[in-house]
Amino acid sequence: MNKSETTLCVVGASGFAGSHIVRAALDKGYRVNGTLRDKDDAHKAPYLKALPGGDQLILFSGDMSATEDFDAPLAGADAVFIACLIPTYKGPSGTLAREMEDEQGYAEIIMPTVNGCLNIMEAAKRQGVKNVIICSSTSSTNPIPPVEKKNEIDHWSDEKEQCRAKKYTSATKTIMEKAAMKFAEENGMRLSILLPTGMFGPVILPEHMERYPHAWIRGMLNGESPRHAKMPDDSMSLIHLHDLADLFLAAYENANASGRYFGVYDSWHWQDIYAELENLIPGLKVPAPLDVEPAPPTGFDFSRRDSLGVTVRDIPTILRDTVEWIRSEPFG
C-alpha cells in the first residue's frame, strides 16, 4: 500500500476521536478527506489544517442526516472512519433523554444517530468504499446480568432493557452497531467497530478543553471542587487519545480485522483514579470517602484489542500525560 496515494475519509474530523484519527493518518503519510458540519468553521478548520501534514488534508462540509453530503469526500477513498456519532443526551426541544418515553426516545435520540450512520454507509456503498471503521462505545457491551470479564463477541447490552431504564443514549450505540453490522454484511463491507469510554490525553481543538474530562481536570488544577461530592462506588474505563487513534488505523490496516474491539486500556475504581490524581495535583480536593467495600472495576478480555498490535499506555501514564498537557496551557 502506497500511503501517499491512499485517501482515508474521516467523518467527524473535528471531534475528540475524529481529530486524532486525522492526526494519526497524516502522521503516517495518508491523504485525508475530513468532514465536519462547516468546513470553514474558524474555531475548528484552522487547527486541523495546522496539523503536521495538513497540506494533505481536504475538509468538506457534511451533515449525517444528508447522505449526499458524503459522496464527494468518499469519492476515491479506500476507507471511511465514522467518528461523528457522539452521544445525544437531550432532544431538539431540550427534553433530557432520561425524561422521555420510548416513542420520543427513539425519534429524537436513537434514530437520528442510527440513520446518520447508515446514511454515511449508503454513500460509501455508492462510492465503492468497502472498509468501514466506526467509533461507538463500551455502553453496548453491558450484559444483564453483568459478567466478571466481558468480551466484544459474546457480550451485548440489551437495548430493550436500556430503553426501559431510560438509557436511550446508551441504547443508541447498541442499536446502531447492530444496524451497521447488518448493512455491512448485506453489502460486502469489512466493518470494524472501536468501543472507547473515557478519552484522555492532548486534544487538538480548543473547544475540546471545555468538555469532560479535560474541563474537569483543569478545574481541579485550579483548585475547584471535584466532579463528585462523595466517592462513587463505581469504575471508569480510560484510554489515551493517541492510542485510540492508533487502534482505529490498525483496524483499517489489518486486512483480517473486523467486528468489535474494545478501545480502552482498562477500568479503575474512582477511588484509585482520585488517588492517582492526588499524586499529580498537590492539594487536590477529593470527594468524601467511601463507607463501603469498593465494588470491583469492570473486567475486560482484551484478546481482540491486543490482536491489533497496538501498545496502549497504562492509566497512571494516561492521567499524567493529561495533567501535564493541561498544565502547559497549550492554547494560551
Residue 4 has a pLDDT of: 82
Distance (Å, whole) CA 327 – CA 17: 22
Per-residue confidence at 332, pLDDT binned at 50, 70, 90? Answer: confident
| Helix, strand, coil distribution of the chain in percent, nearest 5 | 45, 15, 40
Residue 156 has a pLDDT of: 98
Residues ≥6 apart with Cβ < 8 Å to 287: 226, 228, 229, 230, 231, 232, 270, 274
Residue 288 has a pLDDT of: 94
Residue 132 amino acid letter: V
Is residue 157 within 8 Å of residue 98, measured between CB atoms? no
Neighbour count for residue 332 (Cβ, 10 Å):
4
pLDDT digits (tens, 9 = 90+) for 267-296: 999 999 999 999 999 999 999 999 999 999
pLDDT digits (tens, 9 = 90+) for 128-169: 999 999 999 999 999 999 999 999 999 999 999 999 999 999
Is residue 3 within 8 Å of residue 28, measured between CB atoms? yes
Mean of pLDDT values over 172-192: 98
Mean of pLDDT values over 197-223: 95
Q: What angle do CA 237, 242, 247 make, to 5 degrees?
A: 75
pLDDT digits (tens, 9 = 90+) for 192-208: 999 999 999 999 999 99
Which structural domains are found in the chain, ordered by start? Answer: 3-199+238-266+297-312 (3.40.50.720)
- Closest-CA residue to 124 (of 2, 23, 8): 8
What pTM, to 2 d.p., does this model score? Answer: 0.97
Distance (Å, whole) CA 254 – CA 245: 14
- Closest-CA residue to 219 (of 233, 204, 230, 209): 209
Indicate if the pLDDT at residue 324 is higher than 90: yes
Residue 234 is placed in which grid cell? 463505581
- Closest-CA residue to 118 (of 161, 67, 69, 76): 67
Residue 118 amino acid letter: L
Indicate if the pLDDT at residue 1 is higher than 80: no
Residue 93 has a pLDDT of: 87
Percent of the chain scoring above 70 in pLDDT: 100
Helices (H), the chain: 16-27, 45-49, 71-74, 102-105, 111-126, 159-164, 168-186, 214-221, 241-253, 270-280, 303-307, 315-327
Burial label for 135, CB within 10 Å (0-12, 13-18, 19+), is buried
Mean of pLDDT values over 104-114: 95
Residue 70 has a pLDDT of: 98
Distance (Å, whole) CA 84 – CA 36: 8
Per-residue confidence at 322, pLDDT binned at 50, 70, 90? Answer: very high
Dihedral of CA 306/155/169/212: which sign? Answer: negative
Indicate if the pLDDT at residue 226 is higher than 90: no
Residue 203 has a pLDDT of: 97
Residues ≥6 apart with Cβ < 8 Å to 267: 235, 236, 237, 238, 297, 298, 299, 300
Residue 3 has a pLDDT of: 84
pLDDT digits (tens, 9 = 90+) for 241-251: 999 999 999 99
Residue 30 has a pLDDT of: 98
Per-residue confidence at 33, pLDDT binned at 50, 70, 90? Answer: very high
pLDDT digits (tens, 9 = 90+) for 54-83: 999 999 999 999 999 999 999 999 999 999
Average pLDDT of every residue of the chain: 96
